[in-house]
Structure 1
Amino acid sequence: MHTLFRKLHVSAFAASLLASSTGCVVNADDPEGSDMDEPVDEIASELDYAPPAGWRLDWSDEFNGSSLNTGNWTTLNSNWDPVTNNCNFGTGELEYPRAQNVSVSGGKLILSAQRTGDAPRDPNCAGYPARSFYSGRIHSKGKVERRYGKLIASIKVPSGFGMWPAFWTLGANVSSVGWPASGEIDILEWKSTEPTWMKSATHWHNGGDAHWGTGASGGYNLADSFHLYEVEWTANSMIFRLDGSIVANNAYSHNESEFQQNHYILLNLAVGGNWYGDPSPASIDLPSGVTKTMEVEWVRWYQPDGGSAPALTNPSFESGLTGWTTWSPNGTANAALSETYNGAQSGAYHLTHWTNGTPFEAWTYQAVSGLSSGTYRVRAWVRKGGAFNFARLQAKTCGSCAPTMTELGTYGNWTQVETGPINVTGGYLELGLHSNSPANGANFIHMDSVQIIKL
């Protein structure tokens, strides 16, 4: 939800966002997603969330009670934003926010949109047409501002052409430096023309407006039911998730100053605007007398608690293959395996499975013991090219157990992938890269920065 003269630069990438035994892979080379209208699984309201190990709740608003907590939020009451000093939010939106369209009841924040004939307009926006809709918009500027962490909300967005719900942040210095020099993190944006897609983006200034965008189709319509929308933001990366699964084709890796400072939260239900191609008010699917709502069950901001998730030995292969074992059913592993210098996702080294003209099969894995009972995922960064009979990131709870796996696609750039969830009850897990190549071309897989995550 870009604050000033938005240019939407979103590259949409498909991902399977419901966990399954085949796992979740974010494929940079599959730009199209399923547009199925029906959910493949019912996702109920009153969604709850428990963070992985290593996170503590730093702040939240559960929207209990009967009124908005003004210690957390400010309600906008105009189509002129005094924080950013612009009209219609720089995006040509058609709504006029007001307090009457912001309410709290039933344990939810409710932002309402309605068509109006009142023709409201702020005097600061005299050069702009009157607004055609009322709606709700709140922000936490000067009240709740944080840097880094895991920011997540349970939100239900409304269906219908012209509905533009958003959950996002702006740098706390936006009033003094302007947009996009303040930085912006769009966690959720949705539009009716791509109903199965969660869109996310970042915006900053680098000699000019700079943009990075991502998204994914969950294969089910996101409108009219609650879903979890999340960003995990560190000093050098961001990962966006829908319903707990990775959305981005890879983490947004950054070192911009805009993302090294406090940000504040915004929640709003926009109507029309340039994301829809600046439609006329008459074309908006919001008849007179009808109210559409964006509902938020809670917003939570977590920070690292100083603890650690289960650690792997030598996860980035900086110490050769210490901690890793390679098995081959036919003695071909030596034709497949190396620790490779330069071009790593992090550090100087990474693991490579590759062919030098000889067919091979290799399973490079690490065995972890002493895990507490629970559900885990394995996550890694990979690059891959050429033909393979199979190539998998996988995990299993014993040597002869069936693995939970993610089939790897072709990735020209480093791409983060993860397995589906795997339940550990005996404290033991084997995890790693399993590949089989017919050796009919320049075939390679690089793997780096392996993690085990407790859910």
Structure 2
Amino acid sequence: MTRKHDLSKIFPICLLAFLPGCAVEIAEPTEEDLVVGEAISELEYSPGAGWNLAWSDEFNGTSLNSANWNVLTSNWDPVTNNCNFGTGELEFPRAQNVSVSGGKLILSAQRTGDNPRHANCSGFAPRSFYSGRIHTKGKVERRYGKIIASIKIPSGYGMWPAFWTLGANISSVGWPASGEIDILEWHSNSPTWMQSAAHWFNGTDRHWGTGASGGYNLADSFHLYEVEWTSSNMTFRLDGNIVANNVYTHNESEFQQPHYILLNLAIGGNWYGDPSPASIDLPSGVTKTMEVEWVRWYERGTTSGPTLVNPSFESGLTGWTTWSPNGTAHAAVSETYNGAHAGAYHLTHWTNGTPFEAWTYQVASGLSSGNYRVRAWVRKGGPFNFAYLQAKTCGSCTPVTTSLGTYGGWTQVETPIINVTGGTLELGFHSNSPGNGASFIHMDSVQIIKL
């Protein structure tokens, strides 16, 4: 997104078969009174064996999480110190065009006659559109892993939605010495194509591009856009299918450092040949949106130590203990049949109107010293005073916790890193509900990950 992407440099790699990548969630008849008000997830995703969730934003709630994201509010970018983002884009980002609702991030765009532009950009013409642009600089910066999002992009000439990364050192070294990974870019002239690229500096500006047609229009419906990034290669995927099947190999320093994530809905610009505002397919009074259901960043991990006893609850609650401070655990915890993430059964903490607190846990022993995470798959709805996936190195030790959000579909969650030196780890689920609604948490497929 920070340079002109010449379509002649974007090479077709493979033609993918039609695979919509959608999983329809089947209602659980034995729990139908527990799932009232549960939001349905458009797309389900599993990273595969050996991957653990390092960071995510599921866009639950009613506002953007400011601990994760920065919102741009003009056509001058203070991080890169340029106007119109170095690509001649026609939009003026502003906070009003970034919102969170219905479990989704929404970046909206409209035509404007207000002639907005930043004072630092007085040498450029006023912008003709408002739009949304966010990034994680200074808040979420990581190296390597799987970066994936469920995104619905808008159709129409001039729409340039993008999901990408920049090297965290861009303010000091500039572009492209910072490195750039374009996971998704979309051009209306190639509506079935996911375009991906990488940019760096090696004596001169270096650019590599790839793309593939999925055989279906990517606009106006949700699809999965992914890069798997290691120290030696990148693999790009559309709806789980490899786009760059001639895996891009690199050893450049730009891709051995932390990057941050950007999401934006650009309009016009040099990728479209610098079209006039009048030619853009966005009439006055019309709003177009780029919607993001979730963004996730996975890291490599390995299961370690003795295997957990009954990690998917297929043998009742064997191996698990439930503690409650007020004797309500018997009403709060059950092994539940049907609709599990794996196998036929899963654990449920739930209430149909009775307050409760429950801590369902297992003590793993024989662990080698080192850093660990605990991961599990969860679904959750209804009010809770708190709900955690947590781990601690002794019964009286302070736990590390991950607060569980509302998840309409099975979602993989992780604890923060916890250092184990004594060989044991107490891990599980801790929840407390006021009992004023049909609250539930479904939990399955628990693992210990050694980092």
Q: Report TM bin, short chain.
A: 0.5 to 0.7
Q: Report the 3-state secondary structure (helix = DSSP H, G, I; strand = E; otherwise coil) of the residue aligned with 2:12.
A: coil
Residue 132 of structure 1 pairs with residue 143 of structure 2: no
The Cα of 1:174 is off from its aligned counterpart by 0.1
Q: Which residue of 1 aligns with 2:78?
A: 82
Per the normalisation by structure 2, the TM-score is 0.62
Identity rate of aligned residues, in percent? 76
Residue pair 2:236, 2:243 contacting (<8 A) in 1 also? yes
The answer for the alignment partner of 1:353 in structure 2 is none
Query: Match of 1:124, SS?
Result: helix
8 Å contact from structure 2 (residues 235, 245) kept in 1: no
Amino acid at match of 1:277: G
Is 1:13 aligned to residue 13 of structure 2? yes
**Cα shift at 1:17:** 4.3
Structure-2 separation of matches of 1:68 and 1:190 = 24
- For residue 65 of structure 1, what is the aligned residue in structure 2? 61
Q: Counterpart in 2 of 1:104?
A: 100
Deviation of 1:51 (Å): 1.1
- SS of match in other structure, 2:156: coil
Structure 1 residues 43 and 17: CA distance shift in structure 2, 3 A? farther
Match of 1:280 in 2: 276
Match of 2:255 among 234, 259, 267: 259
1:140-195 alpha-carbon deviations (Å, 9 max, x no partner): 00000000000000000000000000000000000000000000000000011100
Mapping of 1:10-409 within 5 angstroms? Answer: 10-18=10-18, 46-307=42-303
Q: Which residue of 1 aligns with 2:384?
A: none
Aligned pairs for 1:407-426 (under 5 A) are none
Against the structure 1 CA distance between its residues 277 and 258, is the aligned structure 2 distance closer, same or farther, given a 3 Å change threshold?
same
Match for residue 397 of structure 2? none
Q: Report the CA distance between 1:5 and its aligned residue.
A: 5.7
Aligned partner of 1:261: which letter? Q
> Which blocks of at least 5 consecutive residues in structure 1 are unaligned?
20-39, 309-371, 374-455
Secondary structure of the corresponding residue to residue 120 of structure 2: helix
- d(CA) in 2 for partners of 1:110 and 1:58? 23
Once the two structures are superposed, what CA deviation does each residue of 1:51-95 show, in whole Å capped at 9, x if it has no partner? 110000000000000000000000000100000000001111000
2:226 partner letter: E
Structure 2 spans left out of the alignment, 5+ residues: 25-40, 305-341, 344-451
| 8 A Cα contact 2:22 2:42, kept in partner | no
CA distance in 2, matches of 1:5, 1:248: 20
Could you report, residue by residue, the CA deviation over 1:7-34 in whole angstroms, capped at 9, with x for unpaired residues?
A: 5632122321445xxxxxxxxxxxxxxx
Q: What SS does the aligned partner of 2:85 have?
A: helix
- Cα distance 1:140–1:42, how it changes in 2: closer, same or farther (>3 A)? closer
After the TM superposition, which parts of structure 1 deviate over 4 Å for at least 4 consecutive aligned residues? 4-8, 40-45
Deviations 1:99-143 (A, max 9, x none): 000000000000000000000010100110000000000000000
RMSD of aligned alpha carbons: 1.8
Indicate the residue corresponding to 1:339 in structure 2. Answer: none
For 2:133 and 2:303, locate their aligned partners in 1 and report how far apart those are by CA, in whole Å: 36
Paired residues of 1:148 and 1:303 also in contact (CA < 8 A): yes
Distance 1:41 1:196 in 2: 15
1: CA distance, partners of 2:12 / 2:100: 33
Cα deviations by residue, 1:279-335 (Å, 9 ceiling, x for unpaired): 100000000000000000000000011249xxxxxxxxxxxxxxxxxxxxxxxxxxx
Query: 2 CA distance for matches of 1:55 and 1:97?
Result: 35
CA distance in structure 2 between the aligned counterparts of 1:87 and 1:57, rounded to whole angstroms: 35
Equivalent residues of 1:47, 1:154 under 8 A apart: yes
SS in 1 for 2:15: coil
The amino acid across from 1:175 in the alignment is S
Match of 2:421 in 1: none
Judged with a 3 Å threshold, the aligned counterparts in structure 2 of structure 1 residues 88 and 6 are, in CA distance, closer, same or farther, namely farther
Question: How far apart, in 1, do the equivalents of 2:21 and 2:49 lie?
Answer: 26
User: Contact 2:18–2:216 (CA<8 Å) still a contact in 1?
Assistant: no
In the alignment, the residues of structure 2 paired with residue 84 and residue 123 of structure 1 have an alpha-carbon distance, to the nearest angstrom, of 16
What displacement does 1:48 show? 1.5
The residue type equivalent to 1:223 in the other structure is A
SS at match of 2:237: strand
Once residues 55 and 89 of structure 2 are traced to their aligned partners in structure 1, the CA distance between those partners, rounded to angstroms, is 31
Q: Hey, what's the Cα distance between the residues in 2 that align with 1:173 and 1:251?
A: 26
Aligned length: 289
What TM-score results when the alignment is normalised by the length of structure 1? 0.61
